[in-house]
Amino acid sequence: MMVSAGTKRVFLEVILLVLAVSLYAIPAGAQKIDIVEGTLDNGMQVLMVEKHDAPTIIGAIFFHVGAANEVTGITGISHLFEHMMFKGSKVIGTADSRKDRKIMDQLDALKERMREEERVMRENFHRGRSDDMYAPEAKTARYLEFEGEFNDLLQQQKESIVKDEFSEIYKKHGGYFLNAFTSDDMTAYFVRLPKNKIELFLWMEADRIQNAAFREFYSERDVVLEERRLNLESTPTGRLEESFNAMFWESGPYGWDVFGWPSDIRSITREDARWYRETYYAPNNATAMFIGDFDPDELFGMVKKYFGPIPRGKETPPDVVTLEIEQVGAKRLVGEAETSPQIEVRFHTVAFQHPDSYPLQILAGVLSGKSGRLYKKLVLEDGIALSGSVSGMMGTRLHVDAGQDSRKYGGYFSLSAEGKDDVGPEELGGAIHGILEDLKENPVTEYELEKVKNQVIANNVQRIRQFQGIGLMFYLGSYAALGDYSEFNMGMDKLLTVTTEDIRRVANKYFDPWKRNELLVHPKQTEEGAIRLDPETKQFLGMIESMEDAEQLGRMLGMIQMRMEDMTDEEKQQGEVLLKAAKERLGKIKAKKDS
C-alpha cells in the first residue's frame, strides 16, 4: 500500500493509494470506452481517449516496472527513482549545469570510497563489534573524513540548485494534479494541463526520460527513509504488516514493501539508478496515455515527434522468473500494537487475467459490505467485530472486509476484521474459518450473486468519474502496465458470466486450511482513559507533524472538520485528535514564518 517533492506529494499519495487499491478489487468496464491505440517504432505504446467535456488533457506515462522487478541489494529503487525524476534534467533544476555535473561526479567518486569503508563497518556489525553500523561511534576514521567532504560538496551543490523547477514550470502553464506513484508492478507520472499546453508535456517528459539528472540523489535517500518511517514504521501495525507480507511471499517477487528495506535504501548509488533507467525507463517498457480534448491523429503525430527519437533500451527488461513456491503448511504471525484486536487471513490465489480471478472478485463482493457474509456473521450474529467504519481523509471502510488482489505475477485473497476490545483475534479467525467452510459446501444464492454484480457495475461507474478523468487514467494505465489494457472493456463481460458454482469451485480450490496465512494483532495495554488511536489516525498525525505548507495544512484541517459531521462518536474521538494536532502545527508554521 501503498508519492513533486515535499509533503504535498505525500498527501496526494494517500489519494492515489485509495484509488490504486480499488483497481484490484473491482474491474473496470461497466460501459465500453473508445480507446485509440498506437505504437511508436521504438516500442512505446500510446493510448488515447477523447473527452470533450473540458478544454484540458491528462497526460500520463506508465512505466512497466515496480518493486516486483527489484532484487535484494536495491529494494526500494523504484520508489527512490520516482522521487529523483522530479529533480529535473541536465538543464532543468540547476542554475549552473556544468558545476552541477562536476559536483555530482565528485560525489559519485567519493561515495565509492565510502562504500569501501562501509564494507568494514558492515563486517564489524556482523561480528558483534558494533550494534549499528551507521552509528557515529561505529564509523571508521576514513569514513568520517569522507563524510565531511561529502557534506561539503552537498552544500556546494545546493548553491546552484533551482528547487522544484520541474514542478514549477508545469504550474506556471496551468498544470495541476501533477504527481506520481510507485506500486509493485508499475510506476506512473501524470498531470492535467490546458489542451494548448500538451506540447509542453511531451517535451518535458521526453527530456526527463532521456536526461534525468539525479541531483540531490544521496540526500533524497534520507527523504525516502523518513517517508518510510512516517508512513510505515510509525503506524501502529506497519511493521507487523511488513513482516506478514514477507512471511506470506516465500519466493515470489512481492516479499518487500515498495519503500524497500532500510539497509538497501542507504546503499543504492547513482550508478544503480543509471542502470535502472537504461533498463526499465526505455520507451519499449512504457505506455503513454492521454485523456481529454484532442484529435487523436494530430496528437499521435506530436507524440511521435517528441518520443519517437528516444531509442529503445539496449536490453529488453529481464523477465521476473521466480515463481511463488507452493505453500506446504499453515503460517501465523502474532504481535501486539496500539490498536483494537485485529486479524488478516490470506490465501495464495491467481494473477491478473487468470480465469479464476473473476469468481474470486465476485466472491469478495459476497463477503464484503454491510450486507455481506462477513458483516452479518461477525457483527450482527456473533457481535465480536466492530460495527462501524474506519474514517480516512478520502472516505471510509468497514472494520470487516475481503478482497482479491490480482497482481502481474501472482495474487492473494484476504479477509480482515477488527474486533471489540474483549475479543481475541483467534476468535475472529475462527468465525472467518466457519464462513469459508460454509462457502465450500453451500453455494451463494442467485440473489447474492446478482446483487454483487449490480454493485460492481455501479461502483465502477463512480470510480471512473472520480477526479474528472483521473480515475479513468488509473484503471486504463494500470491494466496496460499489468499486461493488457483491453481488460478495461472486457473485464466486466467476464465478471458477468460468473456463476454460483464457479464461486464454490474457487472456494474449495484456494481456501485450504493448511495453506492459510494469518496475522493476529493483540492490543497493547493503554493507560486508563487514554484514547487508542487507529492506524489511519496515527498515519495522519505523522503527516501533520511533517507539514511545512500552511495553505495545504489549512485545507486538510477543513477536510477533517467537514468529515466530523458524519462521524460516529468513536470516530469523532479520532477526529478531535487530528484537529488538535493540525491546529497546533498550523500555529507553529505561522509562528516560524512570522519570526
Cβ proximity of 429 and 419 under 8 Å:
no
Beta-ladder partners of 192: 58, 176
Residue 18: its pLDDT value, please? 40
pLDDT tens-digit profile of 59-80? Answer: 999 999 999 999 999 999 999 9
Query: Which residues in 361-477 belong to E strands, given as ranges?
Result: 389-392, 395-398, 400-406, 411-418
Q: Where are the domains of the chain?
A: 43-93+162-320, 95-161, 331-523, 550-594
For residue 550, the model assigns a pLDDT of 79
pLDDT of 9 over the 50 cut: no
pLDDT of residue 17: 41
pLDDT in tens, 521-547: 999 876 555 566 665 676 677 778 777
Where is average pLDDT lowest: 20-34, 165-179, 490-504? Answer: 20-34
Between CA 187 and CA 208 the distance in angstroms is: 14
Q: What is the pLDDT of residue 394?
A: 41
Are both 43-93+162-320 and 331-523 of the same fold? Answer: yes
Q: Could you give the CA distance from residue 12 to residue 31 in angstroms, rounded to a whole number?
A: 28
- Pairing verdict, β 342-348 and 517-523: antiparallel
The β-bridge relationship of strands 395-398 and 389-392 is antiparallel
pLDDT at res. 182: 96
Q: Each residue of 360-380: pLDDT tens digit?
A: 999 999 999 999 999 999 999
pLDDT at 6 exceeding the cut of 50: no
Angle (CA) 322-404-330 rounded to 5° is: 65
pLDDT in tens, 501-525: 999 999 999 999 999 999 999 998 7
Q: Given the C-alpha cell 520508489, which residue does it identify?
A: 79
Residue 595 has pLDDT above 90, yes or no: no
Write down the pLDDT at residue 313: 92
pLDDT tens per residue across span 81-125: 999 999 999 889 999 989 999 999 999 999 999 999 999 999 999
Residue type, 75: T
Angle between helix 198-211 and helix 165-172 axes, rounded to 10 deg:
170
Query: May I ask the CATH class of domain 331-523?
Result: alpha beta
Phi-psi bin for 394: left (phi > 0), alpha (psi -120 to 50), beta?
alpha
User: What is the sign of the dihedral through the CA atoms of 154, 158, 159 and 162?
Assistant: positive
Query: Distance (Å, rounded) from C-alpha 64 to C-alpha 73?
Result: 21
Contact between 399 and 390 under an 8 Å Cβ cutoff? The reply is: yes
What value does the CA radius of gyration of the chain take, rounded to a whole number of Å? 25
Homologous superfamily of 43-93+162-320 in CATH? Metalloenzyme, LuxS/M16 peptidase-like (3.30.830.10)
Q: Model confidence over 223-244: pLDDT tens digits?
A: 999 999 999 998 899 999 999 9
